[in-house]
């Protein structure tokens, strides 16, 4: 079995419970994993389980600044041709925004230190959990060491693509994605004879135990929305839909769980729409406390949108978490969401950026409690099958093992080909 480096910006991170669960479950299957973070610690909001993760974790961050430059100059002295080629291919590329540019430059440089660490730790496969900065570092480390690398493309890390996604896709041993909607998009960055390397494996359910939501459907109805306060979450449209429901005298309350750059904007919009009394914004809630919110609310609303630059969600994990509690879901038809929310079967699906359609779907689900229950139970059965931890984590482990075996077989074949053609092996050449 391979010794795998998991490369991320932070680990553990409160908003990336699905990655934490993936690492823990792979370790339980006996896989040898070392985690490398390109930034420092970010344990705020992490559950107790996440904070107690025993490691091993190698962290970089600003305190590694001089070590990164030291690794860069050592690589430049040892193999200037490879370093200069890497800089031509990956350092001066245009990125989608300044934040992405800064992340890529840091991760590019971090790749030189990562290469030294992976070599010292006996790593046989470098895997980046995201296709943007982490994959850049993994790509650099792989080119310097010859250790194969792979990456997972999920959502905002591939929409819109960064400036070197094509190069990273070209050199990756394989590319994993966690929803079917991403497969063709990622294949478009591969050469025609390499498109088979894009492999689809769903995430695993993040709650180890589930408990059904109350589904009381008693007035006032309690709606729940969870996510980062960011441009892809569609929370302004949700507040607009809620204002419409208020005008129609539908007795609803909304709990909007989360935090982020858009907090001030959403707070101002709540006030402007006169929703302060019916919209509660408790802030970020640790994952191990989210279950209580799901058990005490009637419907989850997921109003995701595609930003004008292409940024979007994949399948928000909160959907699977809600369905694992038999909680009815109303969501927008964005990216891979329709793979889980099948309209009228496992939930209600509406067009994005359409507050009127969102409000109508909420009314529909509140007015027919039995249909809501049936859809929630069908959604529960679906996610138990699609996101089964044992099935998906075994598939991921087998993907790592099979791809490494294929790589080794190809390398062995390349080694023996000259001898079969009549060439003299280097070890047998006369002085």
Closest CA to 396 of 28, 12, 16, 46: 28
Length of the chain: 431
CA 350 – CA 379 distance, rounded (Å): 17
Residue range 3-204+390-420 in CATH 3.40.50.2000: yes
CA 1 – CA 26 distance, rounded (Å): 12
Q: How many CA atoms lie within 13 A of 412 on its CB side?
A: 6
Tell me which DSSP letter residue 335 carries.
T
* Phi-psi region at 213: left, alpha or beta (left = phi > 0; alpha = psi -120 to 50): beta
Give 326 or 99, the one with higher predicted confidence.
326
pLDDT of residue 366: 95
Per the prediction, the chain carries an average pLDDT of 92
- What superfamily would CATH give domain 221-386? Glycogen Phosphorylase B; (3.40.50.2000)
> pLDDT (tens digit, 9 = 90+) per residue, 329-350?
999 999 999 999 999 999 999 9
Task: Let me know if the fold of 3-204+390-420 is the same as that of 221-386.
Answer: yes
Q: Per the omega criterion (within 30 degrees of 0), is the bond before 56 cis?
A: yes
> pLDDT (tens digit, 9 = 90+) per residue, 387-399?
999 999 999 999 9
pLDDT of residue 98: 84
> pLDDT (tens digit, 9 = 90+) per residue, 112-125?
999 999 999 999 99
Q: CA torsion angle for 38, 44, 49, 53 (degrees, to 10)?
A: 30
CB 253 within 8 A of CB 223: yes
Confidence check: pLDDT of 105 > 60: yes
Alpha-carbon 49 to chain mean position:
20
**Reported pTM:** 0.91
215: tokens are 């589904």
Domain boundaries, the chain: 3-204+390-420, 221-386
């Amino acid at each position: 079995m391979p010794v795998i480096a998991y490369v991320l910006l932070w680990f553990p991170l409160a908003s990336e419970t699905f990655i934490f669960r993936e690492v823990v479950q792979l370790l339980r299957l006996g896989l040898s994993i070392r985690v490398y973070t390109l930034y420092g610690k970010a344990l705020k909001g992490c559950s107790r389980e996440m904070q107690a993760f025993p490691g091993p974790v190698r962290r970089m961050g600003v305190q590694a600044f001089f070590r990164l430059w030291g690794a860069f100059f050592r690589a430049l002295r040892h193999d200037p041709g490879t370093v200069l080629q890497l800089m031509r291919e990956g350092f001066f590329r245009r990125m989608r925004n300044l934040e992405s540019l800064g992340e890529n430059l840091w991760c590019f440089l971090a790749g030189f230190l990562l290469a030294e660490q992976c070599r010292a730790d006996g790593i046989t496969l470098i895997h980046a959990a995201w296709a943007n900065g982490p994959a850049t570092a993994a790509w650099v480390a792989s080119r310097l060491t010859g250790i194969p690398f792979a990456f997972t493309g999920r959502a905002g890390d591939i929409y819109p693509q960064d400036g070197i996604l094509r190069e990273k896709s070209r050199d990756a041993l394989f590319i994993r994605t966690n929803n079917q909607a991403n497969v063709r998009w990622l294949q478009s960055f591969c050469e025609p004879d390499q498109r088979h390397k894009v492999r689809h494996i769903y995430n695993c359910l993040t709650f180890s135990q589930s408990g059904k939501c109350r589904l009381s459907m008693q007035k006032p109805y309690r709606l729940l929305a969870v996510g980062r306060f960011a441009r892809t979450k569609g929370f302004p449209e949700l507040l607009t839909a809620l204002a419409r429901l208020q005008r129609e005298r539908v007795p609803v309350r909304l709990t909007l769980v989360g935090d982020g750059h858009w907090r001030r904007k959403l707070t101002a919009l709540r006030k402007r729409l006169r929703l302060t009394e019916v919209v509660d914004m408790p802030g970020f809630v640790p994952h191990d406390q989210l279950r209580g919110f799901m058990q005490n609310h009637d419907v989850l609303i997921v109003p995701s949108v595609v930003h004008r630059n292409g940024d979007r969600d994949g399948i928000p994990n909160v959907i699977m978490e809600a369905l694992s509690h038999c909680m009815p879901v109303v969501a927008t038809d964005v990216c891979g969401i329709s793979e889980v929310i099948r309209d009228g079967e496992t939930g209600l699906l509406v067009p994005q950026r359409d507050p009127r359609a969102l409000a109508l779907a909420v009314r529909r689900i509140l007015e027919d409690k039995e249909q809501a229950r049936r859809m929630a139970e069908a959604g529960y059965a679906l996610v138990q099958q699609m996101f089964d931890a044992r099935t998906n984590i075994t598939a991921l482990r087998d993907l790592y093992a099979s791809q490494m075996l294929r790589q080794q077989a190809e390398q062995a074949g390349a080694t023996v080909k000259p001898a079969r053609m009549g060439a003299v092996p280097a070890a047998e050449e006369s002085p």
